[in-house]
Chain A
Amino acid sequence: MSISEQTTTQPLTDDAQGMSYLNRLPRRIVVLYLPLAVFVFVLLFPFYWMAITAVKPNSQLTDYSNYSPFWVVQPTLDHIKYLLFETSYPGWLWNTLVVAVCATVLSLAASVFAAYAIERVRFSGSRPVGLLIFLAYLVPPSILFIPLAVIVFKFGMYDSKLALIFTYPTFLIPFCTWLLMGYFRSIPFELEESALVDGASRWQILIRIILPLAVPGLISAGIFAFTLSWNEFIYALTFIQSSENKTVPVGVLTELVRGDVFEWGSLMAGALFGSLPVVILYSFFVDYYVSSMTGAVKE
């Protein structure tokens, strides 16, 4: 959708600056820059707070009368050391990575074929199937986790990474398929027709023509699917019991929070390091990420 939509709307968007030159500077400060600054502050403050807590020595952590809470005097790496060497945190990071990569690859593979079939093979009933895929995207995990727990248990996958690798595609496949359908739609039919005339099979068309052209779509879908599986919580909380199989969100919440004395330093360090991989990935692919997010809405 995105490419075709851009080409159709391109002639309409003229001068990007628009009429903003009509506004004087003082007015722009009050109307634009001030609210923007407040928004940015509020949206980013929790991350700053997370980071500063992660390096604060315990003595300063709750001593607001002697130290300014907004700053740290002698930063310490103790919380991070504790996290990495005395808890199962590195194992959780590894589990999350394995589960997210496997679920993403699996879902992308299934979605490419499904999206191609729905969008280009046009078998009878492909339109209702496309609609069903969209509806499947709207089924939330919070109404599926109880029956899925029963199924996972019956399949003997309970408390293993396989349980997560096989259940995450339930929300990844509908999303990726929906997104890829939009990308495939933007690839001209003529390319495929000339390949068909030359005697190529459907399989060859998909592998040699469609996929190379849909690489941006694949990246978008892949990044997004990876982030979604990295962030997933309710399935991981329900299907995983033993500490060594937990993912980062579940591990941090269930293992690092004990009793009434909270180790805020290591808890925040855990939250910070659990967020970093997706943030780094996101920072490299901002545009792909935004296009997949808005693409799913725009359809």
Chain B
Amino acid sequence: MTMTSTAKQPSAFGNIARSNTAVGLFFMLPAAVFLLCFLTYPLGLGVWLGFTDATIGRDGIFIGLENYQALARDSVFWMAVYNTVFYTLIASILKFGFGLWLALILNEHLPFKSFFRAIILLPWVVPTVLSALAFWWIYDAQFSIISWSLMQLGWIDGPINFLGDPNNARASVIAANVWRGIPFVAISLLAGLQTIPQSLHEAASLDGATGWQRFRFITLPMLTPIIAVVMTFSVLFTFTDFQLIYVLTKGGPVNATHLMATLSFQRGIPGGQLGEGAAIAVAMIPFLLASILFSFFGLQRRKWQQGGQD
């Protein structure tokens, strides 16, 4: 369609092409088709499967709430729910604490700052499964490098059973998750820190504010909106984590480290109980919705604080 032809012939097609809604919908088409086919439809199908007894190779029939009733009596499921909440809570708090600390360090005047910033992000860039394999080797029951170092230092007598004992295994997977999550939190918060004007700090210190007071009354309030968003993302991704657990423990020992995502996979794909697996996945949705609502209000508050239009 050249410029001259549209100008000369105000045809019906031209009218449609010039109407914003038609053009907009036309441009939206590829993305919309993809997202409807492979996101919206599966989301609905997942909810439906949760109400059926589908197995691999057989379409299920509607059985109402039976899957959910079975899950409510299932101690492994409740263990997975407890683990997921515990895992998300502890890992998020640690990621936030260490991430903020690292961001504050990187926000200072340092030599080779951009180099440090680049290498610190590496754990987040590398495929989770592959770095989890490295952790698997680091957590080896016999040849763990951590056990060896602590034994050389004389702090412990025998190798630590990192992944064999339920509580050790929980701590180990949380440590690996925190390791991977710190860079994301730190670099995102650093971006937020860099928008805080230095003059505020200078003015406050002229008024006699201590370092802690400047952090508490300038840095933290200015950073709150971005903290809300970053932590919502972090909580969301930690809550639905699958890869780390699948590599390190596969949910063991005796289901002690199953998260909802790994349990859903376990029951749904190798176990073949698609309906039950889908029901476990659907049970995650209320938690996710709560996080998303929190994120939504976090975003609104940010706009307001920055004096932008709503």
Task: Count chain B CB atoms within 10 A of each CB in A109, A111, A145, A293 and give the residue with the most.
Answer: A145
Chain B neighbourhood of A174, CB < 8 A: 35
Q: Does A147 contact B (CB under 8 A)?
A: yes
Chain A neighbourhood of B191, CB < 8 A: 290, 294, 297-298
Our pick among A43, A117, A170 for the contact of B34 (Cβ within 8 Å) is: A170
Q: Is the CB of A138 within 8 A of B288?
A: yes
Q: Is the CB of A275 within 8 A of B268?
A: no
Chain B 2-13 near chain A by CB (<8 Å), digits 1 or 0: 010011000000
Q: Is the CB of B226 within 8 A of A268?
A: no
Known: A12-B197, A14-B197, A18-B198. A117 touches B243 (CB 8 A): no
Stretch with Cβ within 8 A of A (4 or more), from B41-49, B68-76, B162-170: B41-49
Ordered by A's residue number, 7 sampled pairs between the chains whose C-beta atoms are within 8 Å are A9-B195, A19-B201, A199-B3, A201-B3, A249-B129, A252-B129, A297-B188
Stretch with Cβ within 8 A of B (4 or more), from A79-87, A121-129, A186-194, A213-221: A121-129
Q: Does A116 contact B (CB under 8 A)?
A: yes
Chain A neighbourhood of B46, CB < 8 A: 143-144, 146-147
Q: Does A42 contact B (CB under 8 A)?
A: yes
Our pick among B6, B20, B130, B194 for the contact of A13 (Cβ within 8 Å) is: B194
Ranked 3 nearest A-B pairs via Cβ: A123-B24, A117-B27, A114-B31
Chain A 4-38 near chain B by CB (<8 Å), digits 1 or 0: 01000100111111111000000000001001100
Chain A: CB-nearest residue to B4:
A199
- For the complex formed, measure the closest distance between the CB of B144 and the CB atoms of chain A, giving whole angstroms: 10
8 Å CB interface, B104-141 against A: 105-106, 108-110, 114, 116-123, 125-131, 133-135, 137-138
A-B contact count (CB 8 A): 314
Chain B neighbourhood of A286, CB < 8 A: 114, 117-118, 121
Chain A neighbourhood of B102, CB < 8 A: 36, 39
> How far, in angstroms, from A121 to B19 measured CA to CA in the complex?
10
Q: Is the CB of B129 within 8 A of A166?
A: no
Chain B neighbourhood of A283, CB < 8 A: 118
Q: Is the CB of B23 within 8 A of A279?
A: no
Known: A39-B120, A42-B179. A50 touches B134 (CB 8 A): yes
- For the complex formed, measure the closest distance between the CB of B80 and the CB atoms of chain A, giving whole angstroms: 12
How many B residues touch A, CB cutoff 8 Å?
A: 108
Interface of A is mostly: helix
Residues in chain A within 8 A of chain B (CB atoms): 5, 9, 12-20, 32, 35-36, 39-40, 42-44, 46-47, 49-50, 53, 61-62, 64, 69-70, 109-111, 113-114, 116-118, 121-124, 126, 129, 133, 135-136, 138-151, 166-167, 169-170, 173-174, 177, 198-204, 227, 230-231, 233-234, 237-238, 248-250, 252-253, 264, 267-268, 270-272, 274-275, 278-279, 282-283, 286, 289-290, 293-294, 297-299
> How far, in angstroms, from A258 to B265 measured CA to CA in the complex?
21
> How far, in angstroms, from A177 to B28 measured CA to CA in the complex?
11
> How far, in angstroms, from A298 to B101 measured CA to CA in the complex?
20
Chain B neighbourhood of A35, CB < 8 A: 101, 105
Q: Does B256 contact A (CB under 8 A)?
A: no
Q: Is the CB of A69 within 8 A of B145?
A: yes
Chain B: CB-nearest residue to A296:
B233
Our pick among A129, A133, A151 for the contact of B38 (Cβ within 8 Å) is: A151
- For the complex formed, measure the closest distance between the CB of B182 and the CB atoms of chain A, giving whole angstroms: 7
Q: Does B223 contact A (CB under 8 A)?
A: no
Q: Does B208 contact A (CB under 8 A)?
A: no
Chain B neighbourhood of A267, CB < 8 A: 133, 137
Q: Does B177 contact A (CB under 8 A)?
A: no
Q: Is the CB of A142 within 8 A of B127?
A: no
Known: A69-B148, A271-B134. A17 touches B265 (CB 8 A): no
Chain B neighbourhood of A299, CB < 8 A: 299
Chain A: CB-nearest residue to B241:
A142
Q: Is the CB of B243 within 8 A of A234?
A: yes
8 Å CB interface, B266-290 against A: 268-269, 274, 277-278, 281-282, 284-285, 288
Q: Does B81 contact A (CB under 8 A)?
A: no
- For the complex formed, measure the closest distance between the CB of A136 and the CB atoms of chain B, giving whole angstroms: 6
> How far, in angstroms, from A126 to B195 measured CA to CA in the complex?
30
Chain A: CB-nearest residue to B262:
A142
Task: Count chain B CB atoms within 10 A of each CB in A201, A248, A272 and give the residue with the most.
Answer: A201
Q: Is the CB of B105 within 8 A of A39?
A: yes
